[in-house]
Structures are given as structure tokens and as C-alpha cells.
A and B are shown apart, each in its own frame.
Chain A
Amino acid sequence: MNAGIKTLRIDGRDVSARADQTILQVARENDIFIPSLCYLEGLSPVGACRLCLVEVKGASRLLPACVTRVEEGMEVTTRSERLDAYRRMILELLFSERNHICSVCVSNGHCELQSLAERLNLTHVHFPYRYPRLPVDASHPRFVADHNRCILCTRCVRVCDEIEGAHTWDVMGRGIEARVITDLNQPWGESESCTSCGKCVHVCPTGALSEKGRSVAEMAKRRQFLPYLTMMRTQAR
């Protein structure tokens, strides 16, 4: 008997999983859709966007699928009226937080925030738009950081720290004032730690980080490097 294998039920389907897997990983393997924005396979999960919250039978509160490990006999519900409503509201909060006008965005058509909104049938944002006036940092020779499009998923922070090993990106400030920074809040172009590898740009789910020279809807991100690097690293060990 192999104690490392668990069987559980997701949306009424019996599935099996390794004991170290999370609900989100198992769901994706089985083509069960759970929305997420901060999660990206290959980076450490942080449970920050709260879109992947699921109902687990017997749990008193909703659990983030990206960090919750599977358990034997677990019964998971990934879709319900309540979950859908919460997810739409979280997306609305994101849209209202900064400036997400798709029609003028480099990532239009290639944006995870946009495609999730479409998929969850979000047609209106009923919270007032905040539209803060945030800077656009174009000091880097190849890349642009537009804080108005940032959703603070911290994928850039994690990929730079965990994969590239540069830790150029980090978060500054608290609450609604929080924003990602390069080095000690210096212009990106003056960063001494940045290797200009571009990994942050390509893991960014929105148009917050983009390559220079891209116009509206031209910034398609290439994420293939991440599973490749992860695989090569685990095999090299």
C-alpha cells in the first residue's frame, strides 16, 4: 500500500492525488476549472488573490485551493452560486482598484484578468472606480512597468526571487497604497540587481509589465520557460 496517494472527490468526481498536491493542482490535472490570478505553476503559492477559494465539506470557512493540500476522503465544491458571486466581486474589486481600460492596453486580448472576467460573465463593475494616478516607469531600456495595470499578484516578485535569483522586485507600502518596486524603490532602469532577463514581464498576468515597442493588444506573454526551468531543475537534482 502506498500511503502517499489520496483519493478525494471534486465536484462529485472521484480523483486521485499525491499527498503533497494541492486541490488546485489536482483539479487542473482533471480539467476542473478553478479561477486564479496570483497562482502560477512553478512559483511558490501565496493565496493572495482569493479567487481559488473552494468549499470543503466539514471546513468552517472557504479554503484557497492553491495552498490547501489534498486529504483522504475530502469533498470539494469548486462552483456554487456563493463562490461565483464572491469571485465576481473580487474581480470587480480588482477592476475598480486601478485603471483597467482594456481597449487601450498592450495586453488587450492576452490578459488573464480580462479573460477571467469574460469567463465569469462579469459585465459590470458596480463599485466606484478609484483611478489613482500612478506612475509609469519606462526607465528600463527594454521593459515598461505601468502601475496602473498592476493587480499586486506578486508573480514578478516571486519569479525574480525564486527563479532568476535577483530579487529585484518587492512590495512597498501597505493596504491600498501597496505597490511593487524595483530595488529600493529606484527607477527600474537604474536597478543594479536587475539582469534584464524579462521573466517578470512574461509571468505578469496583465499589461502592468510589458516589452517596449508593443502597441495596444500586441503584448502576448510567453510562459513556456517556467515549466521548462522547473523541470530542468528538478531533474538536475
Chain B
Amino acid sequence: MTLEELQRTAQEERASQSKVACHLHVCTAASCLSAGSAQVKQALEQELAERGMRSFCRVKGVGCMGLCSAGPLVAAHPEGFLYGRVTPEDAPDITRSLVEGRPVRRLSVPTDQPFFRRQLKLVLENAGLVDPERLEEYIAAGGYASLLKALTEMTPQDVIREVTISGLRGRGGAGYPTGLKWSTVAKSTDAEKYVVCNADEGDPGAFMDRAVLESDPHRVLEGMTIAAYAVGARHGFIYVRAEYPLAVARLRTAIRQAERAGLLGNRIAGTPFSFHIEVRLGAGAFVCGEETALMASIEGRRGTPRPRPPYPAEYGLWGHSTLINNVETFANIPVIVREGGQWFARIGTATSKGTKVFALAGRVVNTGLIEVPMGISLREIIYEIGGGIPDGRRFKAVQTGGPSGGCIPEEHLDTPVDYESLAALGSMMGSGGLIVMDDATCMVDLARFFLEFSKGESCGKCVPCRVGTAHLYELLDRLVKGEADGESLRMLEELSDLLRHTSLCGLGQSAPNPVLSTLRYFREEYEAHLAGRCLAGTCRVGANR
């Protein structure tokens, strides 16, 4: 598909869409589907057919609209009415309201609330608007224009320069400068190079990558293809966990569509550049999100990390130079190429540019998927976007970064969200899980939960992580049950220090973070447990004494 053909497809698609007066967008991402949105979509289609309204209104399955707690979500366009907790029985009312031009009051979700107003959508700009299973809709929304711009108007160096200027940093959590990573791989003289997309999202409570893949899979393919052009790779892999069947299905559909349209595969868009993408499924090991373990798994070996250096840029898949980025990182690329690095760098803070997608979960009123500019404060996220703590309870802590991150207490809520500030608090940006806890959460029990996770997900290769996480878990378990002795806090600190400094990979090095951050901000809860009390009142301390 050449540029002219791409533009023609976009025009045709827009013309076809404007033939119908209105569209009903039904969320068909995983969380709304699990709340029954497939039945809602079917009921709406049936209702429209029965009333003979199909030429007037079209029902469309779209990706995530964000406010998962109010799902299943249905949006009526062009009016922009948003309906929450829709059931199939609501279909007659919704179709009637289309004719009347008035929203169905009882289902309405206000769209002027801070949850929507405070967000800035770049990565999720198409989520909830395009049908993730139709290439034409992505093209009509401006999709693949960045790829064709890169291929026809820019050299690979130009692309890398824009990405470098943009200040984009890895969205998988560690925040390595993306432009630097790309230029390292581009400089390699290796004849065979690979581009890998890390979609092995595994943090408990995190679903950003899943939502991006389910809502806008072509965006990730476009980002990867631009990356491949920039670094000189011809083959790519998307490593996605098998627990995301819908994301896998949509990715496969998208790859097939893009190949058929000549936007992926041999001689893309009539240029000499070729790039192929294959999907590889993860078998459920959290450690395979670590890049060296991920590559071992793609190669068909046991997914265990190896020491770095050599880094993948130098020695990656099958020994070849390899570029590995996270889903969200790739999803940022089309915007950067389209708008320019300078434009992108104006969003965010001095060191953290652009936006970040978060999965907002736990004890907040509005849970779901959000995208916010870097530098927004945690307080704004939790109290404005999240709508505060439900049931009149008090905020206690917010957990970022999953099992590698830490808990941030009330007094640090005004901290801006950027890589350095979160790390300074003993937590980390992580891939974007954000779990809010109220005063009914025991922090010792929380630390135990995360260590149980890390213990189970340690690959067992290096001694500190394999044995250390088991001891940490057991110490915390005894603390929770009130069976610990006075030595345990010192031993927790000692083991945490050992793991952090001697473990082989990021999993072991960051596994103690949930312990260290809760010890730092909630030490009194540990001491209370030692004294036979649980301050949150949730643990049966001393029941076994």
C-alpha cells in the first residue's frame, strides 16, 4: 500500500462511516467483555435490526474506554453520550434515545468528570474509538501514516534523532532512554538484527499492555516496524503472555491484515524495506518479562535470565543484535514520528517526557485504565481521576511498580509521577500498575503478598533470589501470624540488602522493595505485629500462640 493508496483507504473509510448518522461504540476489551459487553453488543444490533435502523446507526466493537469499574461501557457518537453498567435489557432504551437525541439518564456516565478531563491520551488516542479488528479504521484515524512518512521521507538516522529528541524512556519500568537504545542497535554491524516487543506484562493488578494490544494492535505493529527501519532489522517478535488470549487473537488478526495490505512483510509500501513479525506466547513465567529470560524463551530454552553485559543490543536473540522495547514504548512511536520529537518533549517533566498509562486499581472509586502526562501528582491521580477512596475510609498507601515497586504513604502524595521521584521514594515507575490501599490494609500482610509472588516467580537460578525470597516470605508469614521473634526485622533488612545487591537479575534485585518501603514508612505496623497486634485489624495475630 503506497501513500496514495493509504490516503484513499482513509477517505473511503471516513466516507463509509459518515453514511450513517450515528455509531454505538461497545467496549470489547477484556474487562467489559467479562462484564457481559458481548451480549450487550448483540442485543443492540438485534434491536437496531428489528427497528429497521441499521442504515441510521451502526454498532461497533471498540477497545478500552478507560472507566472499567463502570463497565460494560457503551458510547453513542457523535453526541458523545457514555453509558455504564449496560445490560442487554437496556438496548431498547438506548436505541430509542438515538432517535430522540436525548441521553438515557439512568445509564449516563458524565464525561466532563475529572476522570476524563485530567487525562491526556497519546498511546490510547484510538482506544475506544476504532474497531481493533479493522485495519481500515486504524488507517482512517491516521494510522500507518507515520510509518510511510518514516519510510519515504526520513532516513533511519532521522527517525532515531526524533526519538532521541522526544526524550522517550522505556515504559517497561526501568526508563532507559529509547533513542539511545535504538542508536546502539543501529550502530551494530551485525547482518541479522531483531526487534522484540515485550508484552509479557505480569505485575499483579497491571493491564496497560493488554489494553493497548486489545484496543489498538496496529499501533504497536506500526511502532515496531518504524523501529525495525531505524535499526536495520528484518525480523521481529512479539512476546505476549498466553493468559491474554484476546490480545493474541487481535494481534494475529492485525498482523495478517497489515501483511495483506503491504504494510508489513516484504517490500513494505513499495519500498525496499521488509520486516516480518511473529507472535510468541509466554507460558506464564513472570521472569520471562526480564529481557534475557524473554529471549531465552523465544529461542525455545528455559526462561532464565543471564548476566548482562553483554546487553541484547550486542548479544541478543541467537547471538544477534536485538532491540527490545515494551508495548507502550512502541505505541508512543507513531505519535513521535507524526508530531515530531520536539512536540513530544514539551509534555511531561525535565527528565520524564510524554505520558504514562496506568492501570488504576484497588480502593479507589474509579478503577480502570488512564493515561496522564508525566509530572502529574499521585494525589491528582488518586483523588481527582480516581475519585478518592470509597466507603468513607481513609487513604493509606499507593503501590506502584508491582512486586518490584514500593508503597508510597500519604505524606508523599504530592510527588510528581516521574522515574526519578518515584525511585527516590523507594518505589519505581514500573510498567504502570497503581494499586490504592485504604486503612483496612495491613502493610505487613501486603509485603507478604508480594514476597509470596516473587518467591513463586523466582526462576531459581541464582542463590540470593532463590533462597532469599523464600526466607523473606517465611519471615513475613510468621510476622503476619504473630509467631515472629525480635530478630526478624533485622533479618528482613539484612536479607533485603543481600538480594538487592547480589541477585542476578531485576526480579531478585527489586524483590525486597515491597518489604523495604513498608519498613520505611510503616515500621510501626511491623512492631505492632511483634507485640501481638495488627494495626489494620485484619491479621489474626497471636491466634496461634
Contacts and interface: CB of A to CB of B under 8 A. Distances in A.
Interface of A: 46-50, 53, 61-62, 64, 67-68, 86, 89-90, 93-94, 96-97, 126-128, 130, 151-152, 170-171, 173-178
Contact of A171 (B460, B464, B494): B460
Interface in B486-511: 491, 494-495, 498, 501-504
B267 interface: no
Contact of A96 (B302, B462, B465, B467): B467
Contacts of B462: 47-50
A221 to B, nearest CB: 21
Contact of A176 (B458, B501, B502): B458
Contact of A178 (B466, B491, B494): B466
A153 B457 CA distance: 19
Given A50-B463, A152-B466, A86 B285 contact: no
B306 interface: yes
B180 to A, nearest CB: 17
Interface string B278-301: 000000010100000000000000
A100 to B, nearest CB: 12
Nearest to B454: A175
Interface in B453-480: 455-471, 474
A97 B467 contact: yes
A68 B455 CA distance: 27
Contact of A174 (B458, B474, B503, B504): B458
A128 B471 contact: yes
B459 A175 contact: yes
Contact of B460 (A62, A67, A130, A174): A174
B307 interface: yes
Contacts of B455: 175-176
Nearest to B302: A171
Given A46-B306, A96-B471, A127-B471, A175 B460 contact: yes
Given A50-B504, A130-B470, A174 B307 contact: no
Interface string B427-467: 00000000000000000000000000001111111111111
A86 B460 contact: no
A93 B471 contact: yes
Contacts of B504: 47-48, 50, 64
A105 B440 CA distance: 50
B471 A175 contact: no
Judged by DSSP, the binding face of B is helix
Contacts of A173: 460
A-B complex: 3 closest residue pairs judged by Cβ atoms:
A178-B460, A175-B458, A93-B467
A89 B498 contact: yes
Nearest to A151: B463
Contact of A128 (B285, B287, B458, B474): B474
Contacts of A97: 463, 466-467, 470
A57 to B, nearest CB: 16
B337 to A, nearest CB: 33
A97 B498 CA distance: 16
A9 to B, nearest CB: 20
B469 A175 contact: yes
Contacts of B458: 174-176
B501 A86 contact: yes
B463 A176 contact: no
B459 A178 contact: yes
B57 to A, nearest CB: 51
Nearest to B469: A175
Contacts of A128: 471, 474
Given A50-B463, A89-B498, A175-B456, 11 more contacts: A47-B307, A89-B494, A94-B467, A96-B467, A127-B471, A127-B491, A152-B466, A175-B466, A176-B466, A176-B467, A176-B470
